A and B are shown apart, each in its own frame.
Chain A
Amino acid sequence: MRDYQSGGALTEVSLCILLSLYQPRHGYAIMQHLQEKSNGRLLLGAGTLYGALATLEKKNWIRVVASDERKKCYQITDLGRSVVQSEKQRLESLLLWIACDTEEGDVNDQ
């Protein structure tokens, strides 16, 4: 689906990674944070995370803040924060839409 205003929805993985990088974290910590926050609902494969981190870094949405003992720590950039903000607005309007349409439908059913 094409969004002509904000450039389309983020994938669930990108959004979750961006959210967990409001604090600096390395790869494994991101996976754990995701599991905690989603109550074990989200399971992110290490290979998928590796590719996603590289892509987000290339897009300048996240950056490497420290490499201690080989471990690369990432943190979100200002550009990344603005992407999350516009995604938040998109999701809020989507929620409003869902509430609106489902209630309307229920009224018609009765």
Chain B
Amino acid sequence: MINKYRYFGMFMNAQENWLNEMSKKGYRLKDIALLRYTFEKSAKRAYQYAVEWVGHLSREEQEDYIAYLKDCGYQVWTKNANLNYALGKIKFRPWAHAGARWAHQGNTYQREWLIVEKKSDGLPFQLHTEGQDQIRSIKNIRRVFAFWLLISAAAALITRHLLVALFAVAFSIPYLYYTRSLYHIRHESLVTESIPASPKKPSPFFTSGFPFLFTGILLLCLCSAYRAGFFTLRSGTFLFMQSSSSSSSYQAQYKIFSGKLHKKLSPQSGQKHFQVKVETLSGSMRVTVSNEKETQTFLFNEKGTSTQEFSFDSPVNLTLEGDSHSGSVEAKWIP
């Protein structure tokens, strides 16, 4: 019994090839979890594996299909495509069938792949053997990337930020990969009905390295976005914000900020005055500075830059209330 930890995300060929490689070495799949695959020793090449995308099916459709596959004598597992990071464990999937459009733990959340195992009988194992049917099954997964490509490309156009554009580039790679497979099948199906399982040996880059690279790029984008202050605001809306903060200062630049932001800023040794500098391009910004003794509020609604200074000697609570405000805010303790 051995455990292996792998993450293949949205790449079905990679997962399928890897399971078949393990089978060649004499390992049979026993159990799966979020990232874990448990294998037991078996005869070499005793089992064959196929992986299919079922994320677009409703729970009932999935159950019906799984029952059918089990009747065919296959062993079936459901597998997650994502890493279980979703607010409230609910996902909106406009690309899915009616029953799966809101995926939650009661239906199809974390059940996006089927891993199907067949006892080897000398024949190739392939779930989809006809050109038109293969085209349909590849389109089902390509649609997911088409959706995210569209969203991220639109977001990149609106924000005009390199990071967002990187997401669009990242999503376009798997989209193009599946488009290439579709092109091959379409071309072949002009003259024949059945397409062989793998027309040519897939390049190792796409089967092993690529899923990790893709996930890496996405994580890198998220980390950079976090560092650039994309997730600083907890309430309110903003088009684009870049901010940085420390225990004694806060800075932000943004377009159209509507909402509220709270910060607690403490002076360091020798700092006595609290300074707020607001640059206004349009809209208005209300700044409230308070400690346990007093509260001061200022409204900035004229274009230009203005600075306010207060004398405090203890930590202050800073509240920024933007009303379609574009510009920047800088608040800090000074000597």
Contact A71 B71 (CB under 8 A): yes
Chain A residues with Cβ under 8 A from B305's Cβ?
Answer: none
Contact B130 A48 (CB under 8 A): yes
Contact A51 B136 (CB under 8 A): yes
Chain B residues with Cβ under 8 A from A56's Cβ?
Answer: none
Contact B71 A11 (CB under 8 A): no
Binds A, one of B18-26, B119-127, B204-212: B119-127
Q: Footprint of A on B, CB under 8 Å?
A: 52, 65, 67-69, 71-74, 116, 123-124, 126-130, 132-133, 136-137, 193-194
Contact A46 B72 (CB under 8 A): yes
Chain A residues with Cβ under 8 A from B67's Cβ?
Answer: 70
Contact A47 B73 (CB under 8 A): no
In the bound complex, CA of A12 to CA of B71 (Å):
24
Residue among B74, B132, B137, B194 making CB contact with A46, cutoff 8 Å: B74
Q: Does A33 contact B (CB under 8 A)?
A: no
Chain A residue at minimal CB-CB distance from B127: A47
Q: Does A27 contact B (CB under 8 A)?
A: yes
Contact A31 B72 (CB under 8 A): yes
Residue among A27, A31, A43, A51 making CB contact with B133, cutoff 8 Å: A51
Residue among B68, B116, B124, B129 making CB contact with A48, cutoff 8 Å: B129
Q: Among residues 1 to 49 in chain A, which have CB atoms less than 8 Å away from a CB atom of chain B?
A: 11-13, 26-28, 31, 40, 43-48
Residue among B52, B73, B74, B193 making CB contact with A11, cutoff 8 Å: B193
In the bound complex, CA of A71 to CA of B132 (Å):
26
A58 to chain B, nearest CB (A): 15
Contact A45 B127 (CB under 8 A): yes
Q: Give the total of A residues in contact with B, Cβ under 8 Å.
A: 20
In the bound complex, CA of A44 to CA of B68 (Å):
15
Residue among B52, B68, B126 making CB contact with A27, cutoff 8 Å: B68
Assuming the A-B contacts A27-B71, A27-B72, A28-B71, are A50 and B65 also in contact, with contact meaning beta carbons closer than 8 angstroms in the complex? yes
In the bound complex, CA of A31 to CA of B126 (Å):
13
In the complex, 9 of the A-B residue pairs with CB atoms within 8 angstroms, ordered by the A residue number, are A27-B72, A28-B71, A40-B123, A43-B129, A44-B129, A45-B126, A45-B130, A46-B72, A50-B65
Chain A residues with Cβ under 8 A from B74's Cβ?
Answer: 46
Chain B residues with Cβ under 8 A from A45's Cβ?
Answer: 126-130, 133
Q: Which 10 A-B pairs give the minimum distances between C-beta atoms?
A: A47-B127, A45-B129, A28-B72, A48-B133, A45-B127, A47-B128, A45-B126, A45-B128, A48-B130, A48-B129
In the bound complex, CA of A44 to CA of B124 (Å):
10
A96 to chain B, nearest CB (A): 23
Chain A residue at minimal CB-CB distance from B69: A46
A50 to chain B, nearest CB (A): 6
A36 to chain B, nearest CB (A): 13
Chain B residues with Cβ under 8 A from A13's Cβ?
Answer: 130, 193
Chain A residues with Cβ under 8 A from B126's Cβ?
Answer: 43, 45
Chain A residue at minimal CB-CB distance from B197: A45
Additional pairs, 16, CB under 8 Å, beyond known A11-B193, A51-B136: A11-B130, A11-B132, A12-B194, A27-B68, A31-B72, A45-B127, A45-B133, A46-B69, A46-B72, A46-B116, A47-B52, A48-B128, A48-B130, A48-B133, A52-B133, A72-B68
In the bound complex, CA of A28 to CA of B123 (Å):
15
Contact A12 B193 (CB under 8 A): yes
Contact A46 B127 (CB under 8 A): yes
